[in-house]
Chains A and B, each alone.
Chain A
Amino acid sequence: MTVYILQRVMRMIPLLFLLSLIAFLIIQLPPGDYLTEHINALRASGRDVDEAEVERLMKQYALDRPMHVQYLTWIQNILLKGSFGQSFQWGRPVNEVIGDKMALTFLLAIFTTVFVWAVSVPIGIYVSVRQYTFTDYLFTMIGFVGLAVPGFLLAMVVMYFSFAWFGLKVGGLFSPAYELEPWSIGKFQNMLTRIWVPVLILGIGGTAHIIRVMRATMLDELRKQYVTVARSKGLSEFQVLMNYPVRIAINPLISSLGFLLPWIISGGTVVEIVLNLPTAAVVLYRSLLSQDMFLAGSFILLVGTLALVGSLLADIALAAVDPRIRFGSVEEF
C-alpha cells in the first residue's frame, strides 16, 4: 500500500510541471497582455499613464522578457514565495482574491457531493433490484430530465418561482447583512439557509448521472455468481446486497470523486453567475475576459492541481477498498 501511494505521488510531479506549463501557455494565448491593454485603455481615454509604475510591474513580472523567462519568474514566485502575483483587475495580490472564493467553492463542492451521493446511491441500488418496474422507469425518466435540463435554466426557474410564490430572493450565498462581514458562526448559519439552492441545482445533473452509473454497475454485479453464492449462505437480501454487489459497484464512483471539483468549477460557471454566487468560477470567468493573466493562470493552475490531488486521494481511497488495486492484480473478474 505504501509503495503504491509513493508511486502514485511520484507520478504526480511531472504532471504538475506539465500542468503549470499548460496553465501558463493558456494565459499567454490571447494576443497582448493586461498591462498593454490597460495602458492603451488609459491613453485612449486621454489620461496620463504612470510610466514608472508600468515600468516597475514590467520588471517584476519580466513582461518585457522572452516567454520562458516570464514562465520561470512566475513559477519561481509561486514556489519560493508562495506568491501568485498581482491581479491587475482587482488591484490586489491574487492570493487574497482567490483565498476566499476557493474556500467557498470547495465548501459548495463538498455539500454538492454529499447531496448527490446521499440521494443517488440508494436510489441507484433500489432501481437496480427493481429493474423494469414502475419505480425503475420513473427514476429513469426523472434522471434523463435531470441530465437534459441545463443547470442555469433550472436556476432561473427556481429563482422565479421562489420569488413569485414565496417572495424569496435566492441569489447569493449570504443575506445582504452578512455579505461583507468576516466569517462568524452567524454567517455560517446564514450560508446554510441559502446554500441548499445552488447545491440542489448543481447536484441535479450529477445525481441523475450517478443513479445511471450505479444502476448499470449494480445490474452487472447482480448477475455474477458470487451474489448467488452469498444468498446460498443464508444471508438476508439486504446483507447480500450491501456486502457483495454494492461493495464492488461503488468503486467506479469512488474513482470519479477526484474530478468533482473541476466539474463544479467548469460545469457550474453559468449557474453560479445566474445565482450570483461569490465562488471561484465566476472570478475565473471574469479574469479570462479581462486578460487578468496572473489571476486566470493561478486559477487554472490551482484547479488543475486540485484535480490531480483529488484523483490521487480517490485512487488511494479506491486502493483501500479494493484489494485488487492494492495488490496490483490485473486479473479480470
Chain B
Amino acid sequence: MASHENGAGTQDVLLEIRDLKTHFALDEGTVRAVDGVDLDVRRRQVVGVVGESGCGKSMTAMSIMRLIPPPGQIVEGEIRFHRPFDERPDAKDIVDLAQFESNDRQLRDIRGNQISMVFQEPMTALSPVRTVGKQIAEAILLHQDVNKAEARDISIETLARVKMPNPEQRFDDYPFQLSGGMRQRAVIAMALACRPQLLIADEPTTALDVTTEAQILDLMRELQAEYDMAILYITHNLGVVAEMAEEVVVMYLGKVVERCDVDSIFYNPKHPYTKGLLNSIPRLEDVLQDKREKLNAIEGMVPSSFQRLSGCAFHPRCPDFMPGVCDEAEPQLIQLEEGHAVRCHLYT
C-alpha cells in the first residue's frame, strides 16, 4: 500500500493539509475561521504556527483532531495523514481525516493514539473528580492491548518520562492536588502515553509562569527527540517559535500568509504582516539606547470575523498597501525560493 502520489520532495510526509476550510455558520453570518490552509508536517519535524488571536491557528489544530465545536464544520479540503501501516518504515496508509464523521471509529483509533493534542489550559484539561492516573491509563487501555496493571505501569513510566516528581504517588492524586506545571506535565504524559507520531500542542505554556514555561519547552524538545515524533506547535509567541520550531507557518484571518524555515522568518521575513509581528517585539538594545518610547504595534485592528474583505485580507492594515491591487485581487501563496512561500502582491 506504499503510496507516493504527492511526488518528489515529500519524502517522510506525515500530515498534508490541502485547502482546508472550517466555517462556522452562525445566525449573524458565516465565520471563516480556517479559510484555505495548506500545511505540511514531515516526520520528526517541529512546525510552529503563529498568528494573532482569532487567526484560525487553534481551529486548524481542532480540525486535524476533528474536535471543532459546533456549529463549526470542515466545508472543504483534505487532511491527509500518513500513518505507519506496519513495521516497514516506508509502508503507509493514507487517510483523509476530513472525510470522517467526528465520532467515527477509525478516527477515534487515530485520535489519542497516533495524533494527540496538548491543550492550552492545564487547569481545566483534567476532570477534577478522577485521578490523574485513571485519566492517563484510559487512553492506553483504549488503544493498546494491555490489562489494567500494565496500563498503570505504562502511565507511571510516562509520568516519569515527563519528569513528574514521585510519579507513583501522583498517579493516584487528583488534579487539584497538583500545581499548574505538574498538571501540564500530566496532560503531556496523557498525550504521549500511546507514543503518537504527531503531537499537536495548542499554546501549552500560555497559562504557565515563565519559569515553568521554560521547563515545559525544554521537556517538549527532549521528548520530541526521544519519542521520534513530529510536533505542530501553535503559539502567538515568536520567542517560543524561535526556540521550538524548525519550520514556521504564519497565519492571518484563516489563511497562511507566509511559510518558511525558522531562520528565514527572523532574518528574511517577506510578508508585511510577518514583518509587523517581528517589529512589535520590543528589543532590549532599543530600550537601553532610548531609541523608542512606545511599543510598535501593527496598525488597526483585526477585522470583524463576519466581514469578508475583497483582495488581500491584510490590506487595511498593511504599510505597503497598493491601491487598486491589494484591495482587488486575492493574492496566491507563491513559492519565492525552496521552502519559502508567501501570500502577497509585493512578490508577484
Contacts and interface: CB of A to CB of B under 8 A. Distances in A.
B138 A324 contact: no
B65 A229 contact: no
A197 interface: no
Given A247-B130, A248-B128, A322-B129, A228 B138 contact: no
Contact of A233 (B69, B124, B130, B138): B138
B191 to A, nearest CB: 8
Contacts of A333: 123-124, 128, 176
B124 A232 contact: no
B117 A232 contact: yes
A124 B142 CA distance: 27
A226 interface: yes
Nearest to B116: A232
Contact of A329 (B124, B130, B176): B176
A31 to B, nearest CB: 54
Nearest to A229: B125
B306 to A, nearest CB: 21
* Interface residue range, chain B: 35 or more
Q: Which of B111, B121, B127 has the most CB of A within 10 A?
A: B127
B218 interface: no
Interface in B110-151: 110-113, 116-117, 119-121, 123-131, 135, 138-139, 142-143
B176 A331 contact: yes
Interface of B: 65, 67, 69, 103, 108-113, 116-117, 119-121, 123-131, 135, 138-139, 142-143, 174, 176-177, 187, 190-191
B109 A234 contact: yes
Interface in A211-240: 224-226, 228-237
Given A323-B174, A333-B124, A333-B176, A234 B129 contact: no
Contacts of B177: 327, 329
Given A323-B174, A333-B124, A234 B110 contact: yes
B143 A234 contact: yes
Interface string A233-276: 11111000001100110000000000000000000000000000
B103 A237 contact: yes
B174 A234 contact: no
Contacts of A323: 128-129, 131, 174, 176
Interface string A165-201: 0000000000000000000000000000000000000
Given A234-B142, A324-B176, A333-B176, A229 B126 contact: yes
Q: Which of A226, A230, A233, A248 has the most CB of B within 10 A?
A: A233
Interface string A54-94: 00000000000000000000000000000000000000000
B174 A233 contact: no
Given A327-B177, A331-B176, A233 B128 contact: no
A324 B112 contact: no
Interface string A307-333: 000000000000001111001010101
A232 B65 contact: yes
Contact of B127 (A230, A234, A321, A329): A230
Nearest to A326: B174
A232 B62 CA distance: 9
Nearest to A230: B127
Interface of A: 224-226, 228-237, 243-244, 247-248, 321-324, 327, 329, 331, 333
Contact of B129 (A228, A231, A232, A247): A247
Given A225-B120, A229-B187, 11 more contacts: A226-B127, A229-B117, A232-B116, A233-B138, A234-B109, A234-B112, A234-B143, A235-B142, A236-B103, A243-B130, A331-B176
Given A228-B119, A333-B176, A244 B127 contact: yes
B190 to A, nearest CB: 7
Given A229-B125, A327-B174, A235 B130 contact: no
A234 B128 contact: no
A232 B111 contact: yes
11 contacts: A231-B67, A232-B112, A233-B112, A233-B190, A234-B110, A234-B111, A235-B108, A237-B103, A323-B128, A327-B176, A329-B176
Q: Which of A232, A237, A248 has the most CB of B within 10 A?
A: A232
Contacts of B103: 236-237
Contacts of A234: 108-113, 139, 142-143
A333 B125 CA distance: 10
Contacts of A229: 117, 119, 125-126, 187, 190
A160 B116 CA distance: 61
Contacts of B135: 230
A331 B176 CA distance: 8
A72 B131 CA distance: 51
Contacts of B69: 228
Contacts of A248: 127-129
Contacts of B119: 225, 228-229, 232
Nearest to A225: B124
Contacts of B129: 247-248, 321-324
Q: Which 4 A-B pairs give the minimum distances between C-beta atoms?
A: A234-B112, A233-B112, A234-B111, A233-B139
A228 B202 CA distance: 13
A327 B138 CA distance: 24
B124 A236 contact: no
A18 B91 CA distance: 77
Q: Which of B65, B117, B126, B129 has the most CB of A within 10 A?
A: B129
B65 to A, nearest CB: 6
Contacts of A228: 67, 69, 119
A249 to B, nearest CB: 11
